[in-house]
Every structure is written in C-alpha cells, then in structure tokens.
Structure 1
Amino acid sequence: MNLLSILTFLPLIAGIIILVAPSGWQKQFKYITLAVTLVQIAISGYIYFHFDNSLRGVDLINSYQFKEQISWIRLDLGSMGKLQIDYFLGIDGLSVPFLLLTSIIMMVATISSWEIKTNLKGYFALFLLLDTAIIGVFCALDFFLFYIFYELMLLPLYFLIGMWGGVRREYAAIKFFLYTLAGSVFMLLIMVGLYFSVTDPETGNHTFNMVHMMNPANYSGDSIFGSLAQQTLLGIPARLLGFIILFIAFAIKVPIVPLHTWLPDAHVEAPTPVSIILAGILLKVGGYGILRICYGIFPDAAIHTSWWLGLIGVVSIVYGALNALAQKDLKRLIAYSSVSHMGFVLLGTASLTAEGAAGSVMQMISHGFLSAMLFFLVGIVYNRVHDREIANFRGLANIMPQYTAFVMIAFFASLGLPGFSAFIAEAFSLIGAFNSETVNGAIPRWMAIAGSVGILLSAAYFLWTLQRMFFGQTRLMGGEEWRTKLNDLTMREKLALAPLALLALILGVFPSLAFDKINGSVLELIHHVTGK
C-alpha cells in the first residue's frame, strides 16, 4: 500500500479498534491514539525528507509525487458516457509540509486530551476520524474524494465541540456546522459543473481528477466553465462565479472577515485539544484550498479578483488585531489574533508573486505551530482554576516561571520577532505584496503598508497581555486557593510544548527547511496563474 494511504487510514483503523474494544480498555485509548500519531509523524517525516526538491519547473500538472491512482467508481450513464471517480492521492510542495504539520499538531492535541475524563471511547474514536479526514484533504487529487474528506471533517468536529465543550457548546457547534455546511453545498454545485467540463484524455470520460481540471486544454469551449468571454451565469462570467463560490467556501475555514464570526465562539467553547486542532490545522485547510483549487483551477479568475482578495486580507489583518486588543478573555484574544495572522496568508496569495505565495504557505505552517502552542498554554491555566479572564491574573511569573517562559516564547514568536518563523513568513508576505505593483500590478503597495500595521497591533496586544498577567506583584482573583492550584508545568505539558517552541525557532533560523520544499510548487503555481 502507498505511504499516503497508510498515513491517511491508519487513524481510522485505530478508531474502529477503539469502538469495538471493551470498556475496560478506557485508560488505554489515549495511549493507542498517541501511538498512532507518533507513527504518523514517522511516516510524514519520511515523506517530507524523501520529497524530491529537484523536480522544479513550470509544470503544475506533472509535479506530484508519491502518487497512487486506482479506479474507484465507474457507472454507465448511457448517452452521457461513464461516471469516472478515482481513488487518487498525491502531494507536491504545497501539500507536503501540511502532512508533517498535521501529524505533529495531532500528537500535541492527543497529549492535551489527557484532560478529557468522560466518554473516552466516543471522544478518541471521533478524534481519530477527524485525523483521517484532515490528512485525506491534503492528499486527495480527485475532487470527489477531496469533497468526501472535506465534509467528513464536519461530523467529528461538531460532536467534539458539542459534547465536550463549554457552557455554550451546542450554540458554538451548530454555528460552526451551519457556516461550513453552507459553503460546502455550493462547492458541490461547482464540482459537478467542473466534472462536465473536463474529460480524461485516456478514457474520454468526464472526470473529477483535479490535475485534469487544472489543465486549460481540457475545458471545452461550450461548457458552462469554458471561457470567461463566452459564457455567463446570472450576468457573471461562469468561471469567475465558480471561483467566487469556491473562494467563499474555503474563506469560511480560513476564516476571513466577515466570515469569521464562528471562530471565536468555537474556540472559546471547544475543549483545549479541539482548539489546538482548529487553529493549528483546520484554518490551514481553507488557505490550502484557495491555493490548490481556486488558484489551480481558475487562474484567470484569480487574476481578476486579486485586488479584492488583497483588500480582504488587509481588512482581516487590521480588524482581527483591533478585536484582539479589545478582548478580556485570553482564549478569545488568541482566536482573534488567528483571524489577523491568517489575513497575511490571503495578502501574500493575492500578490501573485513567488515571495508572497511562499510567505503565505510559510505563514500557515508557522501559525499552525504557534497557535497550537498558544491554545495549549491557555488550556493549562484554565484546567487549573477554570478561569481565563486576563484581569483576574497578575504576577504569574512569580509562581509559574517555566510556564511564563513558554508564554513569552509563544508571544514573541507570534508577534513576528526576528529569529522566529512568523517573522520570516510575514516578511515574505509583505515583500510579495510590496513588489506586486511592479511585477504584475495585482495589488497596490498601500496594501502592504496597511498590512504591516497589523504587526504593530499584534505587538501591542501580546505585550500588553504579558505585562498585565505575568509581571508585577502576584494578585489572583481566587486568592490563596488559586495560588495552590496554579502549579508550574508538568513533564507531560513540557513534552508537548517543547517541540512546538523548537520548531518555531528552527524555521526562523533555517527557513530553507520549509522553503526548499515549497519553492518549486510555488513557482509552478505562479507561472500557471500569471504565465510569468
């Protein structure tokens, strides 16, 4: 079996084992899950370091490695030909970093799941199902298969938030479900339209193969997704409309303003492990979908909408940062900081430059590690005293020095301090945005300048929070009772936090570890979109 298939379905098999296991095994479920995530790290690490960086050029269609393609569904439709759906997996430089990121974040989330005490069988079975769905999204090259994995993420997340979340967990779970489902329904319509626009050159059948969908030669002139000049739908060019609908579906996941309102509620009510997965991986599915599908299949529409996408990115950066500055709940502050930081992904992508696109992918990787670290740190305090109000804590550094050290690393890394991964990511995104006006005229320079304001604002809310909660004379709302509960980090917590802090530092000092994998596919994507 192909390594990608093993990586994808190993958690599903483990989840089934947990479901059929006797209840007496409950204490072992977390160790089974941890073992699966460690095996995933080993497999994804092997794939990452055996990914061939030398396969570069300007051919987006033939750049995939570790491919596995098997005929899956064939249905005779009479005069309409045959329905063709393949089990088709493969990765390139855009997807290979996310396999390793997902494996590491799922391992950290598993360690954080030690806090879950009720219905462990259901929790870890859903957790592992979510693991399979996320890995599948990053590996799938058949749109039908991609859609199955994409939709499969909804079910476990809905129950993980709704059953193990906070006081308003049902509201947060339903809101998340409805937002994501609304985008997915329209994605299905575009997927069907693309299916009837593309044929497999070998069989002559219509196909959901995303690689063929990226090839302009496969669009028939009379299809609804044929030519911007020839076809319109509701007065809008059909390909442009398809791009917009798919962009909205993925933008909900990113999320960008004004489609972000589900995120703070979901984060605040979700248990810490689910918050780690949401921020560390789920938001990246949206950014990945925009690059892989929106830009890969609709390059012409990407050029036409670049100015608007850049503007949305800037608004998300500034609006998210201002909201973070106003928050009183530490977890909600970090949720809004994610909205701001993911705005850099959209700004870099909209620039249609190699620097900007590489910066946006690096930002997703960097934010994955750092946001997981931040939510884990919030969960540590909340599990001890069940409170997250910033004003209720003061002088934590005096009683939790090791915890404070990790908080300082996470805060300084997230605000873009040189030497950490976020600095490299945001710098490249802004460089790409600044150069875009000269290189291709996609977005003006004032957007890069406005985006840089977000970095200043992030420094403001992170440093202000650090000063209020951790320095000065110790003063706790819960008094002596809280002081006895606020013990410093346990060994389990340090084992989870140390790799995340180390990765943020390593990618800040040696960014080529990521850029070497990303660069070839980024160049191919930019050439595919702009022709340059």
Structure 2
Amino acid sequence: VYAALTSFAQRNLKRKIAYSSISHMGFVLIGIASFTDLGMSGAVMQMISHGLIGASLFFLVGATYDRTHTLMLDEMGGVGKRMGKMFAMWTTCSMASLALPGMSGFVAEVMVFVGFATSDAYGSLFKVLVIVLAAIGVILTPVYLLSMLREILYGPENKELVAHEALIDAEPREVFIIACLLVPIIGIGLYPKIVTQIYDATTVQLTARLRNSVPTLVNEAPVALENAPIVSVAPSIAPR
C-alpha cells in the first residue's frame, strides 16, 4: 500500500514504474507467508508475470524518453495523438500491470489471494486484515496507472514535443520486442498451466519445508533467548 501511494505521488515516469514494481512484489511475500501450495505457486507466478510486465513497461519508458527527452510527466501530454502504436503498447502493458483478467498478473494475484485466504496458519481476523490491505493495493494500482496514461497520452499537446523531429511512432523492432513480451503474458493469463506444471512439484516441496521449519523456529526462539549470555553495556569503572 505504501509503495502504491508513493508511486501515485511520483512525477518522474521511471520512478513511478519502479515504485509500482515494489507494490507488486508485496503479493510475492503474501503468497510465501500463506504456507500453502497455491499461495506459493501464486508467488512464483507473480515473479514470472512481473518480470515480463516490468520489462515491457521499462522498455516503453526508454522508448518514450528517446522521443521526448524527458521523464517528467508534467512535460508530457498528448503524445498518443501522434503515436498510435506507442499509444496501443502503453495501454496494453498498463492493463497487464493492473492485472486485467486474461493476463498473467490476474492469475497470479488470484492464486495468492485464495492461497492466503485458505491458509490455516493464521487466525481469521489476521487473514481478513492482510487481504483488505492487499485489496487496497489492488485498488490503488489502476489509480496511478490510469493517471499516468492520462498524463502521457491524453490532454493538451506540449508544443515543444510536437515540434520535435524525434517524436515519431514506434518502429517495427520496438513493436516486435513488446509483442514478444505480451505473447507469454496473455498466454499465461489464458492457460496458466503452461508454467505451473513446470514448478508445481518444487513449490509443493518448498511449502512443506516452510511449514515444518517455522514451528521449529518458533519453539526454539524462547530457549535461545533464555540461554543467551547477558552482556552488560554499562562502562566498567575500575578503582585507580
């Protein structure tokens, strides 16, 4: 939630995308902390999904900077009117980032939510609290992403940018790179088993080890504290 709010406040395009990445990584922690096979699988799915989506967004940031020579949202505006391909790529990748159904991010977040909700490691009140906080983060994601698209693509045109000779639409190689990233994003979103069947056996073993190790750590912690040597931090005063 903090990273999502921080991303919303950023005026630098690259920083906005970076903080949104931190926000999405929160789902990885929730999935791991669920101690369920589904939650752990969702955490791995979220890492794979965010690797693809984050790469596409940062690539678009670089492509936009090459044309506008600025990363400040206040200096952009109306770019989508003159660059139709860039408009389409920005919109599609942003929809993937906000976990639109049919894309990999949606599958990952649903797996994490269901995995944590069905976990028996926590009480009902704590699970509700975590799910509500995660849901707030999900709600904030379209807020800062759609506002970012509005400032880049819509609104009045910046006369200095329009007059710039480098303000041209996406080249074929740029479209190809984004297409190579979007194909697995959409493919995983429509048929998640493409990747889950690869790592499911590993996540089951990892979850079992976590469930067995956490009670051990909890039980040994008080014993370790009792046996810990008492170290005095007070200065020793020796007689002269």
TM interval, shorter chain, is: 0.7 to 0.9
Normalising by structure 1, we get a TM-score of 0.38
Mark the runs of 5 or more structure 2 residues left unpaired by the alignment.
213-240
Unaligned runs of 5+ in 1: 1-317
Note the aligned Cα RMSD (angstroms): 1.5
User: 2 CA distance for matches of 1:385 and 1:407?
Assistant: 15
Q: Which of residues 2, 6, 12 in structure 2 aligns to 1:329? A: 12
Match of 2:69 in 1: 386
Shift of 1:465: 1.1
1:481: how far off? 2.9
Question: What is the match of residue 237 of structure 2?
Answer: none
- Is residue 329–residue 390 contact of structure 1 (8 Å, CA) maintained in 2? yes
Whole-angstrom CA distance in 1 between matches of 2:159 and 2:62: 18
Q: Contact 1:400 / 1:487 at 8 angstroms: preserved in 2?
A: yes
Asked if residue 408 in structure 1 is aligned to residue 81 in structure 2, the reply is: no
Residues 529, 396 of structure 1: alpha-carbon distance in 2 compared, 3 angstrom cutoff: same
- Map of 2:138 onto structure 1: 455
Q: Distance in 1 between matches of 2:35 and 2:131?
A: 13
Q: Structure 1 CA distance, aligned partners of 2:188 and 2:162?
A: 41
Q: For residue 383 of structure 1, report the CA deviation from its aligned partner.
A: 1.5
C-alpha distance after superposition, 1:502-528 (max 9, x if no partner): 111111001110111121111111122
More helix by share: 2
User: Which residue identity is paired with 2:44?
Assistant: V
Residue type of the alignment partner of 1:481? A
**1:508 aligned onto 2:189:** yes
Match of 1:374 in 2: 57
Q: CA offset at residue 434 of structure 1? A: 1.7
Matched position secondary structure for 1:478: helix
Q: What amino acid does structure 1 have at the position aligned with 2:57?
A: L
Contact 1:393/1:477 (<8 A) preserved? no
d(CA) in 1 for partners of 2:28, 2:55: 17
Please give the secondary structure, in 1, of the residue aligned with 2:185: helix
Contact map agreement 2:161 2:167 (CA 8 A) in 1: no
Q: Which residue of 494, 517, 531 maps to 2:175?
A: 494
Residues 137-171 of structure 1 show CA distances to partners (whole Å, capped at 9, x for unaligned) of xxxxxxxxxxxxxxxxxxxxxxxxxxxxxxxxxxx
The aligned counterpart of 2:106 is 423
Q: 1:520 aligns with which of 198, 201, 209?
A: 201
Q: Within 5 Å, which residues of 2 pair with 1:59-70?
A: none
Size of the aligned set, in residue pairs, is 210
Partner of 2:151: 468
- The reply on whether 1:444 has 2:127 as its aligned counterpart is yes
2:181 is equivalent to residue 529 of structure 1:
no
Amino acid in the other structure paired with 2:168: N
Letter in 1 for 2:137: G
Percent identical among aligned pairs is 36
Q: Is the 8 A contact 1:435 1:445 kept in 2?
A: no
Three-state SS of the structure 2 residue aligned to 1:485 is coil
How far did residue 477 of structure 1 move?
Answer: 5.6
1:411 positional shift: 0.4
- Residue 222 of structure 2 corresponds to none
1:168-223 CA-to-partner distances (Å, cap 9, x unmatched) read xxxxxxxxxxxxxxxxxxxxxxxxxxxxxxxxxxxxxxxxxxxxxxxxxxxxxxxx
Q: Which amino acid aligns with 2:160?
A: G
Deviations 1:65-95 (A, max 9, x none): xxxxxxxxxxxxxxxxxxxxxxxxxxxxxxx
Aligned 1:103-502 pairs, distance under 5 A: 318-436=1-119, 439-441=120-122, 444-473=127-156, 475-476=157-158, 478-482=160-164, 484-502=165-183
Q: Which whole-Å CA distance do the structure 2 matches of 1:432 and 1:477 have between them?
A: 50
Q: Which amino acid aligns with 1:466?
A: L
Structure 1 distance, partners of 2:196, 2:76, is: 40
SS of corresponding position for 2:118: helix
Find the aligned partners of 1:486 and 1:428 in 2 and give their Cα distance.
41
Distance 1:375 1:460 in 2: 19
Read off the aligned partner of 1:478 and give its amino acid letter: E
Q: Distance in 1 between matches of 2:22 and 2:183?
A: 24
In structure 2, the CA distance between the partners of 1:472 and 1:458, relative to structure 1 (3 Å rule), is same
> 1:477/1:333 Cα in 2 relative to 1: closer, same or farther (>3 Å)?
farther
Tell me, yes or no, if the aligned pair for 1:392 and 1:477 is still in contact at 8 Å: no
CA distance in 1, matches of 2:42, 2:147: 27
Distance in 1 of aligned mates of 2:28 and 2:57: 19
Distance 1:434 1:349 in 2: 13
- Structure number with the bigger relative contact order (C-alpha 8 A, sep ≥ 6) is 2
